[in-house]
Amino acid sequence: MSGKPPKIKPSLGKNNDSSAGGAHRQLRTSPPHPSNVSHQVAQSPLLMSATEAVAQSVSVTPMTSYMGVAMAASAPAFRDYWVRAWNNLGEADALGIRLCKQRQYVAVADDYFVQVVKDAESGLYRATVARELNASGPLMKLDAEGKFWRPADNDDLPGQVAVERARELSGEGEFQQGSIPTIDERLAELYPTMTEEARSTMLSERFSGDPLLAVARLEKEFSTLVEDLGAWVAEVPPLHPVTGLSLTKTEIESQRAHREFFALELQANWSRKATTVNPYTPSTLDYDLDMLGSLPRLSADFSHVRELSLSSTSPLSGSAFLEAFPGVRYLILSGFALKTFPVEIFQMRELATLTLDNCDIRLSEATVEGLAHIENLTLLDLSDNPLGLAPDISFMRRLDSLYLSNTGLIEVPVGLFDIESLAYADLGSNGIKNLPLELFDVPDVWEVNYNFRNNPLDEDTLQRVTDYMNAAGLDRKVLIQVGGDVWVPQQNIVFDGVDSGLESSDEG
């Protein structure tokens, strides 16, 4: 009885057309997803901030939109600094300044105040929010009536009129409910597609204490994200990292466009918005990159992302980008120029599958030890990397699939033959000359395929493999591939509920 040889499924996210250490595809000189350019810019979260009216007045074009719109949209509105009065707020001094817990507050409307700090350069007071290291608000001064404070640069607005424009007064001058945005309204500007219940849940789970301060921190986080990405978009390297040649003006403009689209994708994901590239759920961020240099370093929190899949057609570095994604469970990076194993991955406590193929990675003793303690992995793919050292998988008791082909290994990973859950291990195209005796202690009823093809195995090892397979029982399920096409007895090798990386078909 015989069947056709099993086929090996390719690992998800593989890209054999590029190599982090060798030649790469020619750079695209047109932005990705050209049919979606106007849609992405028009729906950009840059245009959805508290200063939407200002942002919409900026002329938007694919090559010049990002920096101008980002600066307009990220500038907080004066009302963003307003806080409601509370009982233990102190009495006003001669300047109208009140103290509470060693912080200074000034009135900007009935029952509304702004925290201020003394500006050393001008001698005036500047609006700020609690825990802000550097005050970001406008300079303030008393109005002509000496009652309310207002931004010092509003010289064209006399006294109370400045406040009236900000808060919408009724005929009697009483404050109308709704002119100052509620906490949820401010959250809705940041997360326009989330339900009110989801926004409330997120606020309670991520922050404790004063919800006003929590919202202010989120607004600051988003504006910082916009600023950081705006700076990154402009930082295109002048030289190609592989050839050393200067980029042409067209190539630089193209690189900025590619960065701009990825920046918009990141902003949309932070705001939990669907996009044409990721239309289903904000917990997934999937993107094909064609850019040079480094990924941006982010201070914003992307812990809501569970699946992160990025592929690169050009030598791209910057593993610090991963720091913003501690909640990732499924990680795929393909075609990068990382050089070393990204230590940022060690903070991903829930990581279940890890693919870092074709990323020019070399392991050190420290990263081998760190990787060994990612114990909940079910899939590990480090193929097409010059690893140098073999990983230690002895603690990965849930591991189902292991891909280590073309990694320059001369020995098998520690623990390879001790993991009963393992269904497929690909160590093909390496420099392994002999296999340890532990292989021949593996029970032949284990449902596992070990692929050692295209290795310079010595004659003693090949003979031991032959003897082991010949001595196996009729119920054998283990498969050891050492060279050429492998013909196995006709049997069902598709394991119940397990993706072994195998397919088989019977002869007709």
The pLDDT of residue 135 is 82
**What's 98-133 look like in SS3?**
EEECCEEEEEEECCEEEEEEECCCCCCEEEECCCCC
Instruction: Give the Cα separation of 266 and 273 in Å (integer).
Output: 10
The pLDDT of residue 77 is 65
What residue ranges define each of the domains in the chain, with the CATH number in brackets?
Answer: 7-24+315-503 (3.80.10.10), 85-180 (no CATH)
The pLDDT of residue 179 is 55
Amino acid letter at 131? Answer: R
Distance between start and end Cα atoms, the chain: 12
Per-position DSSP letters for 383-411, written without gaps between them: -SS--SS--B-TT-TT--EEE-TTS--SS
The pLDDT of residue 154 is 58
Query: Cα 60 from chain centroid?
Result: 26
Mean residue pLDDT across the chain: 78
Q: What DSSP state is assigned to residue 457?
A: -
Name every residue whose Cβ is closer than 8 Å to that of residue 190 and which is 6 or more positions away in sequence.
218, 219, 222, 271
Helices 249-270/211-234 angle, 10° precision? 160
Q: What is the helix, strand, coil percentage profile of the chain, to 5?
A: 30, 15, 55
Name every residue whose Cβ is closer than 8 Å to that of residue 121 and which is 6 or more positions away in sequence.
none
Name every residue whose Cβ is closer than 8 Å to that of residue 209 and which is 6 or more positions away in sequence.
none
Instruction: Give the Cα separation of 372 and 366 in Å (integer).
Output: 10
Asked whether the CA dihedral 266, 267, 268, 272 is positive or negative, the reply is: positive
The pLDDT of residue 15 is 39
Name every residue whose Cβ is closer than 8 Å to that of residue 422 and which is 6 or more positions away in sequence.
399, 400, 401, 402, 416, 448
**Quick check: 52 and 42 in contact, CB under 8 A?**
no
Which residues does the chain have with pLDDT short of 50? Answer: 1-65, 67-75, 155-178, 485-508
Instruction: Give the Cα separation of 82 and 480 in Å (integer).
Output: 70
Instruction: Using alpha carbons, select from 142, 304, 327, 115 the residue that is nearest to residue 216.
Output: 115
Total-model pTM: 0.66
Instruction: Give the Cα separation of 346 and 375 in Å (integer).
Output: 11
Q: E strands along 211-319, which residues?
A: 284-289, 293-294, 307-312, 316-317
**What's 30-68 look like in SS3?**
CCCCHHHHHHHHHCCHHHCCCCHHHHHCCCCCCCCHHHH
